[in-house]
Amino acid sequence: MIHPVAWCDINTLIGRTPLICISGVLGIPGPLYAKCEFMNPTGSHKVRPYASMLMAAERAGMINPDTEVVDYTTGNGAAAMAWLCSLRGYRCTAIMPYGLPEARYAQTQSYGASIIRSDGPATNVAAARARAEAYVKERPNERVLLNQSDNPENAAGFEQLGKEICEETQGLTTFVCGFGTGGALTGTSRVLRKAFPKLRIIGVEVDRSPVLWESRTGLPAPHEFHNVIGFSPGAIAKVMDTSYVDESVLVTEEEAARWVQIIRENTGHWVGTSSGASVAMAARLLKNGSVGAPCLTLLWDVGWKYV
């Protein structure tokens, strides 16, 4: 007998995304596993942390039916926050940079959220954050900033992802993971490292803004905006625990875009450039033998969010 879940039960709607093996169809050594986070509600991994942050704020008494929920985001978080607020009955405002794909603004507004556009380009998270902080200060008794870069619930929201992976894999040796705020890398690694103590964790950064790579190598690096939305925002967020990262590797925008096409042609899944960047690095490292298998990476979001 089928037992459907409640349409608004976020605890059962989020997560349990498929884990697929893609190394065979991509013609690379493996196994390379990919967790299909783009199959979450709103089409990305971001519903996990935003559900965690929102429910924590509810438990702390920070939110009531008249509260306006606010955060700065490059789009996936905006849609996740807007969807969750629509289910919970809260007003919602997303502070998003100019220059993002129009699909991101449209999706967020479709859930009833308001949008304030901060200075571009699309990866200018610092400007969006400053605008969000100023907006909340205008009416501090009516507005709450979830503050994804500093909020520990961002990382905590990904611990369930780590638990799912532990149930679905055995003998995992490598985790290849990009990062924006670093919530996904931190929360997932927190669980995986306990289950697989010898796990090697590789951080993926865009070569135009490799802040972790620069700090670890001591070599100068550019700090430029780029088109791999969601990765390499130009700073290490407070929520990210960099001690989990064993090595930082660099990907180019061109590699990320090329691997989006490769993934679509060979698996049928249309994912975004952050997913392309992750698979590109996993494939490179597996091919040159610098990491072991089984290897895991994430398919973060759907491709139409980049249109």
Condensed to tens digits (0 to 9), the pLDDT of residues 54-66 reads 999 999 999 999 9
pLDDT at 258: 97
CB atoms within 10 A of CB 109: 15
Enumerate residues 6+ apart whose C-beta is below 8 A from 155: 49, 182, 183, 186, 187, 190, 239, 240, 241
DSSP string, 11-34: HHHS----EEE-HHHHT-SS-EEE
pTM: 0.96
pLDDT at 9: 84
Q: How far apart are CA 305 and CA 48, in angstroms?
A: 18
CATH code of the domain made up of 47-150: 3.40.50.1100
Range 10-41+153-306 classified under CATH 3.40.50.960: no
- Say if residues 188 and 158 touch (Cβ distance below 8 Å): yes
Positions of the chain with pLDDT lower than 70, given as ranges: 1-2
pLDDT at 219: 87
pLDDT at 1: 65
pLDDT tens digits along 69-126: 999 999 999 999 999 999 999 999 999 999 999 999 999 999 999 999 998 787 889 9
Q: Where are the domains of the chain?
A: 10-41+153-306, 47-150
Would the CATH topology of 10-41+153-306 be identical to that of 47-150?
yes
Determine the straight-line distance between the first and last CA of the chain, rounded to whole angstroms. Answer: 40
pLDDT at 213: 92
- Say if residues 148 and 76 touch (Cβ distance below 8 Å): no
Q: How far apart are CA 199 and CA 213, in angstroms?
A: 20
DSSP code at position 303: G
